[in-house]
Structure formats: structure tokens, C-alpha cells
Structure 1
Amino acid sequence: MSQNLSSRILHSIKWTTTATFAIAAMQVGYSALMSRLLTPADFGLVGMAGVVLSFGSYFAQMGLEQALIQRTELSDDDVRVAFTVSVLLGITCTTILWFAAPLVPLYFKNPHVVPILQVMAVSLLITGLSATAVSLLKRRMAFETLSKIEVASYIISYGGVGLGMAFRGHGVWSLLGATITQGILLGILAYWNVRHSIRPLFNWSVFKPLFAFGGKVSVISFLEFLGANLDQLFIGRLLGVRMVGIYNRAFMLVYLPVHNMTTSIARVLLPAFSTLQNDRKQLCQSYLTTLSLTSYIVLPTCVGIATTAEPLVRVMLGDQWLEAIPIVKIVAFVVGLNMLSTFGGILFESLADLNFKLGLQGSYVVVQALLMIYASRFGLIGLTGAMLVGEVLRHIAYLVAGRRLLSYSLFDIVSTYLPAVVTALVVGSASYGLTVLFTGSGVPALVQLLAHILLCAFLLIGMLTVGINRPIRMQLDEHVLSKLSFLRHARPFSQMRLTVAKVRLRLAQVIQRKLLGSIVGNLPGTALRSLEEVWGWEAVKPHVRTMRTLSLPTTQYYSFPEHYPPYFRRHKSFEARLAYWLCDVCVAPANGLTWLPNVDYVLSESIGDVRRLMGWGNIMPHLHLLHTRRPTQLTETGLVVAAAPSPYFHWLFETLPNLLTALEIAPDVRILVPTHYPVFVRQALALRLGDSFSQKTIVADEPVRIPNLLLLQTEVDAGFVPPIAVDILRTTYIPNYEQLPSGHRDIYISRRYAPRRAMANEVELENALRERGYEIVYCEKLSFAEQINLFSQARTVVALHGAGLSNITWSPKGFGYWRCFQMVISMTVMHAWPFSLGLIIAMLHVGRFRAKLLPVRFR
């Protein structure tokens, strides 16, 4: 998936999520008020009419919305034909339902449903007029516009018309008024933003491909309608209008929060999955990631709703709805599984594999009908239980069929759902214990409900710290965590506010350590982020002369074998690389910290420390007191780039590629270095600069004020190696890398002289490998150039976890790589990077302090 598409998906999900949660919040209040203003019979009548209306709506739409979205290319004639057919179908179905409405009481045995159905039938015509405009907005992924339209139309129709009519005593008609008003507003506002042609056109050659796809979608949707409404059809026929009303309110009580959690994602995924239909590997990754994140939210939420059914019904619906309590407990799981199955349906639609979906849905309807016929003897609870069994079977069928399309394994499915299942068990157990505690206590229902919500929310978030939920935490780290950067948005403050700053520091530290890892701002670059956090963009902007995009965002996918732990991150999104030309800023050579002049206090991270340790340790932003000594004014007026030293791995892949890029785009740039820096820094720069090294470097110990600074983007997720960094290093130091012959040297990188991570029996390990023909190498004793030369001839490399592994970057393509790593320090980054290089890799787990020599074969 291109990063551009990823960004559009995330932007779309952000807006659809915002809209659905806003609507959900309003629906909670709307439902609570309407449940007290209307009777169960009122909701039952609308529920019955709604079933018949849904029946007509599937024929009124004919799947044209999905057909417009799914097509790779769309012409003006396609749009005109789709609009023409949609309007004609809307008129036809409205007319048929209007005149057929008197026949409905023959099934439901209630004549009051006739006028309600006739009025509701008008909504089919309204949908026909607006469907094309809404489809085009979705196809363009203009979900920001669509979300604003939906929120505005909901407020006016339900908050204004619906509640207004209910308060004036219009009863069931207030529900109809709200629904029809929203449809009209949605259509008008959608067309206002699209302005597609409304000139009628019917051309069979244009309509045929739309109908070929949309017709199947329509049939499938009709079968989905039957499956989704069999409950109300059976309940209405066997148990009467009152039971339909109770079931409807119980269902909606669960459906609204869970549906709103998933719909914002689901409606974005059809156009997104459709763009990936020719790349099954990336589509599989996106599908499993979607299931994993969604199930982590949906399953614990459903369990929490089931254990909180009594106070939930009392607060949201009132005491007249107590019969809905046992229904809510079962419906919670029905709705949860239904929402998760939605993504399987979207997957098959995006691949235009509708025959299977058609067969699956048809089978589901038959099985579900048989289950409900059998369960009808047990009343409303029995019918609801039959729905649960049917949903379980359908979800399993989607997972099995998806494996055929995407070739994922059983291990992948277990890894996908395990975090959600474990978290749901913990949430359910705790919530049930709280229910037992409240039983007979006389605590008000509202207080009980709030206590349950707080407990479940705390556990849902707190469980992210558990090891089994690491995959979820990684996904949140990539897509959500940046939104928490406001915790570190410091401003200049006086001595009196120093305590406040320390409190904020502590809060940021606790969150980053205990919850989601390191907090990183969603801003262009680490050092520039420091500038913006201190002063705000408006103050920083005068110091930015220009900026350039060096490379576009990319997403790297890692095809780890099945035996890898489930917490291994399967993909990494790398930001765009940006370069900034700044003027009149201050820089600390030792750590790269950048700030504006005349700052008394700067609350910011130490760039060197955070880049080195981000996400792997107890990182706390440093409080720099800069008022005691003003930075020295640098006499150099030309362009300068800072080269803050850091450990070898991070300097090689994060700092050095930026310095090499700076020398490429600005040949006259000079490099700022501290007085004391590792020898490999000098060797690497000297190898690139040659005799001009002394003239091209500026040495300084204390912070300096620089007239012109070149600042390049740094990947804030430390340890993950951007592919562009490897290309830059190879192009610079091995210009003929693509022509390197196959290696002939077998190497063991010893850590006997390294300060950390050496094995206690390192000498024994060296002797054993030496007997097998391996060269024993101590990277600490080799120059930068010698390491490049040695590893460019490697055939096989064996190494413990450590910085010396960085040198496999220089090895020829396809060489063997065997890494021994301690269980306590196994991490994704040290596996993802070799996989991205296309290496043949084998791993051997060793103990914490000693290595065991075991036979290992390359796969």
C-alpha cells in the first residue's frame, strides 16, 4: 500500500470516526429521550415497517453504490447512467410499496403498520436521488466532507424535527419525520458538494458492467437483509408488536455503540481494499490488521455491555423496558460478531469475488431460518440465541474463505484474535465481579453504570501494557500515539511555573512507559519538533527560510515466518524525508538539540538520547536551563549541518545518511561536531570528504548560535531502518555494490571486548566456530573502511545481538546471516531490517548469559 493511500485512509478514518462518535453521542441522548416519550408499541410499528422498507431498498439500489466505488475507472456516462437508474428504481419501488402496504398486515397481523409503511416508502425515492452523489464522495474518499454532512443532517433532523414532534405529542410519526428529513438534507448537501450531471441517460453497454457487479451485490445485500431481519420477521409474526419493540430497543442499545466503532473504518475500507486488489500480500496485511484492532475494541466492549445490561437498560431506556435485560446480554455478542464479519464481506466485494459471498449468505439465511424455527419454542430468548449461533457460523466461514484468497495461516488468525479474546475475558471477569458487588446494595443505576464504564475503560487501556497485546500497542503507536503529543507541547515559562512543567514531564513519562511507549509528535522532524514545542509554529516560521521534500513516505512490509512471535510488527510506515533551511537558531553539538535564541527555559527532549533509546527504556524529556549561559555566536555565515554523535547503529542509519544527503544537496555545507566524538564518526566522514575533512567540519563544545542551519528529517521511530538510508550508504561507500561478487568469507562477530551483551562463555563460542572455519572478528578494532571491505566479502555472518550487526549492510545480496539473540532482548527491529535487505536468515535463541552450541540449518 503506498504511503499516499495509507495517509488518505487514516485521514478518512479520522473524519468518519469523529462523525460516527459525534452521532453516537447524540444518538445516546436521542434514544434515552425518545424511549421515555414513546411506547414499546411505537418502536415495534416502526420496526415492522422498517423490515419491509429494507426489503424494498435492496431492489431500489441494485448495488449501484458499490459498483461506482469498486470500478477502477469511472466515466461521466457511468455516473449519468447510475443516476438515471437509481431515480427510476426509487420511483418504482416507492410506488410498489405504497400500493402493497395494505397487504403487510396479513403477515404481521397489525393494520396500524400500513400508513407508516406508506410514508416511509417515500425515503426510497429520496435515496434514489441522493445515492449517486454519496457514492462519488465515498469513491473520492472525501470522508471529511461526508462526515460533516452527516453530522449536520443528523442534528437538524433528529435533534430538531424528531424530538420536536415527539414533545408535541406526535408519537410514532416523530420517528418517521426525523428519518425522512435526514434523507432529504443528506441528498441536498451531498449533491451540493459533487455537482454531478443529472441529465438522464440509459445506455445498455454502460449499464451492463455496472449491473453485472451491482446486481450481484444487490442480491447479496438482499440475502444479508433476510439474514439480518429474520429475527424481527419471526418475532413480529410469533410474539407480537410489543416483543418486536422490546427486541428492537435491546438490539439498538448494543448496535449503536458497536456499529459506530466499526462503521467509520468499514466505509473507508471498500475503496481502500479495492485499490489493493492486485497486491494480495499487502491486502492480507491490511485485512488482518483491521481485524486485530477492531476486535480489540469490539469484543471487550460487547462483553462489558453484557455484564452491565441491567444498569444500562435502567438508565438508557427506563424501567418500562426491563424485559430487554436478558436480550441485551445475548444481543451484545450477536452484534459484535456481525460487525467483525462485515470486514470479511468488504474483502470479497473489493476483490469482486461475489459468487462465494452470494453462496455464503444464501446458506446463512437457510441455516438461520432453521435455527429460529427450532428456537421459537423458547420464546424471545431462544430466538435471540439462535441469532448468536448463526453469527458464529458465518464468521468462521468468512475466516476460512479469506484464507483461500489471502493465504494466511491458522497461526495468523490466532495471533489476530488472541489479544482481543484475552482482554475481553479480563474485562468481563472484572465487570461481572463489580455486578455481584452491586447486587442488593441499593446503589443507583446511574452510579453503577458509570462505575462499570470507568472500570472497563481502565482495563481496556491498561491491558495494552500486557505482553500479549504488544501487536495492538504497536499499531496504536503508529496510528494513534502521535495524537498525544500535546502532553509535551511546552511553552516558555518563568521560575514560578517550573513545578507545573515538572508535573507535565512526569505525566508524559508515565504514559510513555506504562501505556504506549515513547510519545512522539506528529511533526516534520525530531529537532524541528523541539522548536515547535517551545514556541509554536507561528514563532518558528520566521526562522524557516525554505523546505524541500527529499523522498516520499514509504511502507515496508516484513514477511516474517509463522514461527515468529505474534508481537512482531509486520510492517513499518516511514515518514517523508524533509530538509529545512533555518536561520538564526541555536544548536547543542553534543546532542543536536535545536532551539530559538533568547529562551530562558526549554522543555524538550535530548535528541541524542531519544533517538538512541526511544521505546526501549525509561526515557524522560530533559529540562534544559539555558538562561545561565548564552550560546556563542558562530562566525561561520555559510550553511551548517549538525552531526550529533550517537551509538554506532543509530549513527550509521539515522545520522550519517542525513549528513551524506546534506553534502549532496548543499555541497558547500559545513558539519558541526563536538570536540569529543567516537572515532567511527571521523573515519566515516573522512572517507567521504577526503582531504577536505578539516575544512568541512566545525568543532564546538558549547551551544552555538548559527545564522544558517540545514536540518534534515530524522525517523522518530528509532531502530527501524528506512530503505532509503541503506541505499544512500551503499551508493556512497560501495558505488559498485550491484556488481559485487558472491562472498567467500564466513564471519563471527565476537563481543568479547564489547561493554554489553557478551556471553560469559564467549571464548568457548569463538573456539567452536573457529574450528568450523569461521573468522573471528572484533569490530571495535577495525576501522570504518576495514569493516566495509570485510563484510562486502561475507558469505555467512554469525553474530550476537549488537551494533556489529550493522555491517551486514555492506554484504553481497543473498548471503547467509545467522543471529544468536538473548530471549530478553529479542526485538522486531533487529529482524525487520535484515528481512528488508532480502537476507537468508536463521536465528538461535540463547540463554540470558550463556550460549549453547546447537545445530542450525539455513532454511
Structure 2
Amino acid sequence: MFWTALSMGALAVAELVALLVLARLLSPNEFGLYAAALVVIKFSAIFEGLGVAPAIVQRPELEERHLRVGFTLSLILSIFVAGLVWTTAPAIADVLRLPELAPVVRICCIIFLCQGVAMVAQACAQRALRFRWLAAVDACAFAIGFVIVGPVLAVLGFGIWALVGALVTQHFVRMLAILVGQSHPKRLMLERRAIGELLYFGGGFTLARIFNYLASQVDRLVVGRWLGAEALGVYSLASQLMTTPAVIVGQILDRVLFPTMALVQQEQTRLARAYRSSVAACALLVLPASVVVAIVAPEIVLVLLGAGWQGVVAPLQILACGMLFRTSYKLSDSVSRATGVVYARAWRQAIFVTAVALGAVIGQSWGVTGVAFGVVAAVATNFMLMAQLSLRVTGLSWFEFAAAHFPGIALAGVVGSGVWVTADLLRQAQVTPLTILLEVALLSCAAGLVLCSVLPALFLGRDGRSALRLVAGMAPWLQRSRPG
């Protein structure tokens, strides 16, 4: 978890710096084309591999035939998806009314081939829990692509191809590094039994992934259709401000917990303990943060977006209330995939899509805030459905599940009360929004540390204290792990 979080944090900072540099060298039109190409590539990537890599990670007993068949399937599927996107690129460009998009999308098809070749090797590395090595590979590949190649091409006047070249270079370098650093059988093989075993899991995984993608987009479609472009802009910014941290935390948890839980999927006691501890840690971190964000949302909007975006405040506050549901359900997602109940997961994600659509359609009668309420209700429904599935496979009771959240709720209540009073006093004193944010951040962090130190039984709970002991024990291990 430590290495994955460190890697994603470093990548986020590096990406911001690289984009700031490239923004000074390229035009908004070129960035727009690149963004449109990414939408096409990311959606198409859902179908690439059909869940073969997660199936390899999840299998209780992995044989050489699974690796050989998985490698063969990943090659075939990546070539098929790349060919399909290449062929339909002009039609996609016509639909989006961006004639310059077709050649950009076609060159980006190289990414599918790189991912297909490295797919099984990456799955083997995840199965072996080589998170530190994978983090280093991701960081180096991004640096070569977007810190070196992209800016150089931009300075030389390649325009949009500087961004495309950076992206393709990143994936190509990553493919080479993973293939060299993680060995696996590469002789091609197609065996009916192994294909069925891999694609049975992969099919359910892909279905759930499609529904998840639709759930993340359908609310925006409803807002754009019924409330117009201006409301869509307000809602999109509020949603992005709220969902980005939840997505990052969820990705960190999922990258580590899925392969880790898959290793102990047949040991229900260990699986239940891991799930309960993860839920408790998530509540302890996310609940206080969501309360603080809801309180200082006006200052967040003023500092990040400016005075012209006051309409973002209300939907941001409402969406902040659903931060735990959006983050914690990722834990249930990891458990369901680790134990192979992918079709039970898939139909729950189908209900999630329906709930988001209904919540958004009903809520649009009350504007953007109504849509936000409807989406939070849908996310809460999905959280409960996925929790029920996780409790079923781990044997954990609803009481134990609820008890894991109590320390986080207590900490959020006390910290939130202090932040509310402090923010109100600072506003009355007409302190600048940036100063309010800084003082609230310091107060909430200090208050959280003091409360957890003075009353650990109440504000940390059993799982929190266990996690704290684990983190404290990492110091000598990190010292030993330094190179040289």
C-alpha cells in the first residue's frame, strides 16, 4: 500500500508539472484533440483482454497452460481491438465533429498492442505482490514519456504529436520493462478448458467494468440533456472535485487488495479480517475528510475555481456526503473479484447504473443540487449492495461491519464540530479563503492526531490501533530497503 500510494502520488505531481510545461508549448486545440482521443482509447480498453489479466491474478491454482493461453488471448484481443479502433477512427471523428481526430486515434492504437503484450507479465507481478517494482516501472515510464519525450517534441514543433508521442513512449517503455523484469511462458497456446476458465471470470469482470463506466457518465448525460451546457459545466466540476480523490484512494486500495485477497481467498477468517480492517481504515480517513470538505466547500471553490463558480458549492457539499460510499465500495469490489463472484458483482453494477440514471432524472427537477442528491442516493445503494456481497463471501456480520465504522464516525463528528466553529469565526473575521483553508487543514490534522493519541480506543478502534502499530513498524524496514 505504501509503495503504491507513493507511486501514484509522485505520478500525480509529475503529471501536473508535465502538463503545465506542455501547456506553455501547445495550444488548447491540441490539448482538446488529445483529451478526445483519450476518451476513445479508455473506453475501448474496457474490452481489451476481456478480464484475462485479473483472471490470472485471481485463480486459486495457476498452471502454465493458463499463462500460455492468457498470453495468446491477450495478443489476439489487443490486435482485434486495435484493428477495430483503427478502422472506425474516421467514423468516430465524424461523430465527434473533429476531423483531425482520426489520425491521432489511429496512432494511439499502438497502446493496445503494448498493453496486450505486457498484460500477463503484469498480472504475474501483481500476483507475486511486486508492488514496489511495479511502482518504479510506472514512475520511470511516465518520466521518459512525459518529462523527456513530450516536451522535446513540443519544443521541436510537433504539436499534438508531442502528446501522442509521450503517451505511446510511456506505454512502450512500460511494456519493455515489465517483459524484462517479470518472466512467464510465452509460447502460444489455445486450449478450450483454459480459455473457458479464464473467460468465465473475465466475462463477469468486463460486464461489471462496462456498467461501472456507464454509471460514471449517465448523470452527466442527464444534466446535459435536461439542464443544459451551463448546468453541466457546474455539475461536472463539482463531481470532478469530489470524485478525483475518491478514485485515487480507491485505485490505491484496489491495486493492492485485489491480488492480496486473492492469495487468501480460501481462508475465510483471514479474508474477513483483511476486509474489516480495510473498511475501518477507509472510514477513519474518509469520513473526517468528507465532513471537512462539506464545511469549507465555499472556500475550496473560491480558491480553486474563482468567484464565478459559486454554483459549484452546493452540489460539491452534497457529493462530499457520499465520499465514503464511493470509496469504501471499492473494498467490496476487491473482495468480490478476489473470491471470483464476478457475476454477482456484475448484476449489482447494473442496478447501480439504473439507480444513478433514476436518481439523476428525478433529481433534475430540482436542478443540479437535485441531481447531486439522486447520485449520492444511488452511490449509497451500490455501497450497501456490494457490502452485502462482501459479507456473504467473508462470513462477516452486519454488526461487525457497522462497528468497523464507529471510530471513523466519532472522529468525523468531533473534528467536524471544531472545524465548523473555527471556519465560522474566521469568516466573521473576514479572513481570506486561502487562509481559512490552511488553518482548517492544520486544525483538523492536529485535532485528529491529538484525539487518536488521547483516546485511541474510541477514535482508532481495534483495527486502527493495529494499523498504527504496523505503520510504526515500517520505519526500520524502510531504512533497510534504501538502496546503498
For Structure 1 versus Structure 2, the TM-score category normalised by the shorter chain is: 0.7 to 0.9
1:71 lines up with 2:62 in the alignment = no
Which amino acid counterpart does residue 458 of structure 2 have in structure 1? I
RMSD over equivalenced CA pairs, Å: 3.8
Which amino acid counterpart does residue 206 of structure 2 have in structure 1? S
Report if the CA contact (8 A) 1:44-1:244 is conserved.
no
Instruction: Name the CA distance, whole Å, in 2 between partners of 1:314 and 1:355.
Output: 44
Q: Deviations over 1:218-276 (max 9, x none)?
A: 12212222222323444566677787676555544444444443433321222221222
Q: CA deviation at 1:145?
A: 0.6
Counterpart position of 2:447: 459
Report if the CA contact (8 A) 1:36-1:318 is conserved.
no
Pairwise mapping of residues 24-423 of structure 1 onto structure 2 (< 5 A)? 24-27=12-15, 49-104=37-92, 117-161=105-149, 176-234=164-222, 250-316=238-304, 324-423=312-411
Report if the CA contact (8 A) 2:223-2:368 is conserved.
yes
Quickly say closer, same or farther: Cα 1:317–1:119, change in 2 above 3 A: farther
Report if the CA contact (8 A) 1:62-1:211 is conserved.
yes
Larger radius of gyration: 1
Which amino acid counterpart does residue 67 of structure 2 have in structure 1? V
Quickly say closer, same or farther: Cα 1:74–1:281, change in 2 above 3 A: closer
Q: Note the residue ranges of structure 1 that are not aligned, 5 or more in a row.
A: 1-12, 485-520, 524-535, 538-859
Q: CA deviation at 1:215?
A: 1.7
In structure 2, the residue corresponding to 1:480 is in which secondary structure?
A: helix
Q: Note the residue ranges of structure 2 that are not aligned, 5 or more in a row.
A: none
Q: CA deviation at 1:412?
A: 0.9
Q: CA deviation at 1:193?
A: 0.5
Which amino acid counterpart does residue 482 of structure 1 have in structure 2? G
Which amino acid counterpart does residue 360 of structure 1 have in structure 2? R
Which amino acid counterpart does residue 16 of structure 1 have in structure 2? T
Quickly say closer, same or farther: Cα 1:249–1:45, change in 2 above 3 A: farther
Quickly say closer, same or farther: Cα 1:433–1:166, change in 2 above 3 A: farther
Quickly say closer, same or farther: Cα 1:445–1:226, change in 2 above 3 A: same
Instruction: Name the CA distance, whole Å, in 2 between partners of 1:39 and 1:338.
Output: 35
Q: CA deviation at 1:93?
A: 1.5
1:481 lines up with 2:481 in the alignment = no
Report if the CA contact (8 A) 1:291-1:343 is conserved.
yes
* Range that drifts further, 266-275 or 282-291: 266-275
Q: CA deviation at 1:187?
A: 1.7
Q: CA deviation at 1:97?
A: 2.4
Instruction: Name the CA distance, whole Å, in 1 between partners of 2:370 and 2:25.
Output: 30
1:468 lines up with 2:458 in the alignment = yes
TM-score, length basis structure 1 = 0.50
Which amino acid counterpart does residue 463 of structure 1 have in structure 2? L
% identical aligned pairs = 24
Greater per-residue strand proportion: 1
Quickly say closer, same or farther: Cα 1:183–1:142, change in 2 above 3 A: same
Instruction: Name the CA distance, whole Å, in 1 between partners of 2:19 and 2:234.
Output: 13
Report if the CA contact (8 A) 2:37-2:105 is conserved.
yes
Q: Which has the higher contact order (CA 8 A, sep 6+)?
A: 2
Instruction: Name the CA distance, whole Å, in 2 between partners of 1:44 and 1:331.
Output: 27
Report if the CA contact (8 A) 2:222-2:357 is conserved.
no
Which amino acid counterpart does residue 213 of structure 2 have in structure 1? F
Q: Deviations over 1:736-776 (max 9, x none)?
A: xxxxxxxxxxxxxxxxxxxxxxxxxxxxxxxxxxxxxxxxx
Which amino acid counterpart does residue 476 of structure 1 have in structure 2? A
Counterpart position of 1:841: none
Quickly say closer, same or farther: Cα 1:145–1:321, change in 2 above 3 A: farther
The structure 1 residue matched to 2:5, chosen from 14, 17, 25, is: 17
* Range that drifts further, 154-163 or 243-252: 243-252
Q: CA deviation at 1:297?
A: 0.9
In structure 2, the residue corresponding to 1:63 is in which secondary structure?
A: helix
Quickly say closer, same or farther: Cα 1:43–1:430, change in 2 above 3 A: farther
Which amino acid counterpart does residue 438 of structure 2 have in structure 1? L
Q: CA deviation at 1:146?
A: 0.4
Instruction: Name the CA distance, whole Å, in 2 between partners of 1:165 and 1:426.
Output: 52
Report if the CA contact (8 A) 1:34-1:166 is conserved.
yes
Instruction: Name the CA distance, whole Å, in 2 between partners of 1:240 and 1:314.
Output: 23
The structure 2 residue matched to 1:450, chosen from 429, 438, 442, is: 438
Instruction: Name the CA distance, whole Å, in 2 between partners of 1:315 and 1:191.
Output: 44
Q: Deviations over 1:782-838 (max 9, x none)?
A: xxxxxxxxxxxxxxxxxxxxxxxxxxxxxxxxxxxxxxxxxxxxxxxxxxxxxxxxx
Q: CA deviation at 1:421?
A: 1.8
Quickly say closer, same or farther: Cα 1:127–1:427, change in 2 above 3 A: farther
Which amino acid counterpart does residue 43 of structure 2 have in structure 1? F
Report if the CA contact (8 A) 2:329-2:383 is conserved.
yes
Instruction: Name the CA distance, whole Å, in 1 between partners of 2:333 and 2:3.
Output: 23
Greater per-residue helix proportion: 2
Q: CA deviation at 1:161?
A: 4.8
Pairwise mapping of residues 666-745 of structure 1 onto structure 2 (< 5 A)? none
Report if the CA contact (8 A) 2:219-2:356 is conserved.
no
Instruction: Name the CA distance, whole Å, in 2 between partners of 1:357 and 1:366.
Output: 15
Q: Deviations over 1:675-694 (max 9, x none)?
A: xxxxxxxxxxxxxxxxxxxx
Report if the CA contact (8 A) 2:205-2:343 is conserved.
no
Report if the CA contact (8 A) 2:280-2:405 is conserved.
yes
Report if the CA contact (8 A) 2:52-2:70 is conserved.
yes
Report if the CA contact (8 A) 2:227-2:364 is conserved.
no
Report if the CA contact (8 A) 1:43-1:248 is conserved.
no
Instruction: Name the CA distance, whole Å, in 1 between partners of 2:101 and 2:309.
Output: 22
Report if the CA contact (8 A) 1:81-1:200 is conserved.
yes
* Range that drifts further, 193-202 or 164-173: 164-173
Report if the CA contact (8 A) 1:42-1:171 is conserved.
yes
Q: CA deviation at 1:451?
A: 2.1
Would you say how many aligned residue pairs link Structure 1 and Structure 2? 477
Q: CA deviation at 1:207?
A: 1.7
Q: CA deviation at 1:283?
A: 1.3
Report if the CA contact (8 A) 2:239-2:316 is conserved.
yes
Which amino acid counterpart does residue 268 of structure 1 have in structure 2? V
Quickly say closer, same or farther: Cα 1:305–1:185, change in 2 above 3 A: farther
Instruction: Name the CA distance, whole Å, in 1 between partners of 2:202 and 2:360.
Output: 30
Q: CA deviation at 1:441?
A: 5.5
Quickly say closer, same or farther: Cα 1:160–1:440, change in 2 above 3 A: farther
Instruction: Name the CA distance, whole Å, in 2 between partners of 1:169 and 1:88.
Output: 36
Quickly say closer, same or farther: Cα 1:60–1:477, change in 2 above 3 A: closer
* Range that drifts further, 189-198 or 253-262: 253-262
